[in-house]
Chain A
């Protein structure tokens, strides 16, 4: 099984987002960077599948040179090879991103290795476009499915499950090669070991220059949603607050009888 995992470098936001003065971007001066939890699980799954079935694992990102950090994070937990589609750091829309990944997959496969499985996060943490994996799959003519939280590989097929509305699971069987967009919960990603980090630091990253194309939507500005803030009423301290809480539950009508 040869697996390609696609990830995206995003700021590690926490309690509050601050925008740059022109309102076009997140102010990242005080933030670290990471990939989305969905993608952390995609990377872990690729490592596990290759551990179990053999084959190779490759991680790919489209982004500026510093996105090499995220590629090294993936190599630190066991991904063998990394590909950087290097940009100047400007935003790439989903059509442009998908086209660049398709070009890269074709170029890498022209060198002789076919990827049995392409893994994507279900949606990027920042832009949340929900479409790059499907656009790549469609262009390559490979079957795809999204929202995946369990994967089993056997006999040239992949059995993939996702949670169904109202509970339960929907099960899909796809012929390989295939494309899956996965969600957090697929697995519990491991932490990198110190030797793993050292190994990753020394590894080479394959660099390619992607061709840009316009797609859309075209961002004009970002803003924080209004009306999220509320005034909190402190109804008590410690265990002594219990009667006040029960009174509140009764008032809100959520306490039966």
Chain B
């Protein structure tokens, strides 16, 4: 049996969990074992119901009131108890913030190794994995030796399979059987939990959801000059993101940083303005479908990942693009 930890929000499985389930399903077929899921907290039952056609035979639903707020150790303890009951060969989760944290606790509690940000698995003896280093600038081929293999799956590394529908084998398209699971939790398991949430400032478009992102780097030159990028972003309904030098200089908040130590974005178009393209930035932007680079240097590293380029000073190019959009659209 393969156990998949599925995260959900608004009663739907999260995108990164669906990516992880696609890999889990392939692994299940290769080793001839069923895939079972575990889901936590309010809305888990509804989210589990959405897993039809994704190769999940049983969904263990933990709807304990004490888990209404995220509690990483309590999740891990529940998973370890499920491991004892169901004896999975592999336990995997998305390499999300929560997935990474919970699986590290599972690793610590079982004293098993954990392979983080895995992109591919070759099951068997030895059990081979490929995982990301440097946030994906580099890949590592490694062997994992443990009674139960613990994995997190790198974000945006595995395509989401379409769910099987009624036309194919009935079992593949079926919704998972829901099984309530009641873990035995102690005070210790619950002493770290989200105490409260501070709601987001809803003034802008979220960088991780935006279809278009306008990025600024060292070439922007000053905090004030970001108004040029903001104008273009407003015309495109885009979000503004930045490279690390911009946040390290205090020009923009860190919450706007794209890259290894910031956000991973996956827009349809990323417009990189005055960004040279250090690998630490590229790994945050490479899931963009298209990249347009605006840079004075035709040999900047960003050009090796860009699809389109304008060679020139962004302080001339960006306002000219905004003016042309206004002219064409009459705005």
Binds A, one of B26-34, B41-49, B83-91, B257-265: B257-265
1/0 per residue, CB under 8 A from A, across B128-160: the answer is 110111111111111111100000100000000
Q: Complex: how many Å from CA A169 to CA B196?
A: 8
B108 cross-chain contacts in A, Cβ below 8 A: 98, 131, 134-135, 137-139
- Say yes or no: A127-B133 contact (C-beta < 8 A), given A216-B144, A217-B143, A237-B311: yes
The tally of CB-CB contacts under 8 A between chains A and B is 277
Looking at chain B, what size class is its interface with the partner chain?
A: 35 or more
Beta-carbon contact of B317 and A175 below 8 Å: no
Beta-carbon contact of B143 and A143 below 8 Å: no
Does B278 count as interface, using CB distance less than 8 angstroms? yes
Does B286 count as interface, using CB distance less than 8 angstroms? yes
1/0 per residue, CB under 8 A from B, across A227-257: the answer is 0111011111111111111101100111111
Binds A, one of B57-65, B110-118, B217-225: B110-118
1/0 per residue, CB under 8 A from A, across B248-272: the answer is 1010011101001110000011000
Does B275 count as interface, using CB distance less than 8 angstroms? no
Q: How far is the CB of A121 from chain B (nearest CB, A)?
A: 9
Beta-carbon contact of B320 and A242 below 8 Å: yes
B260 cross-chain contacts in A, Cβ below 8 A: 125
Beta-carbon contact of A216 and B146 below 8 Å: yes
- Say yes or no: A220-B196 contact (C-beta < 8 A), given A239-B320, A255-B236: no
Q: Complex: how many Å from CA A127 to CA B136?
A: 10
- Say yes or no: A246-B268 contact (C-beta < 8 A), given A218-B142, A220-B141: no
Q: Which B residues fall within an 8 A CB radius of A?
A: 9, 14, 70, 72, 95-97, 100-101, 103-105, 107-109, 111, 113-117, 128-129, 131-146, 152, 191-202, 206, 211-212, 236-237, 244, 247-248, 250, 253-255, 257, 260-262, 268-269, 276-280, 282, 286, 290-293, 298, 301, 303-313, 316-317, 319-321, 323-325, 328-329
Q: Which 4 A-B pairs have the closest CB atoms?
A: A167-B200, A185-B254, A138-B108, A216-B113
Q: Which A residues fall within an 8 A CB radius of B?
A: 13-17, 26, 36-38, 93-95, 98, 123, 125-131, 134-135, 137-139, 143-147, 149, 161-175, 183-185, 188, 215-225, 228-230, 232-246, 248-249, 252-257
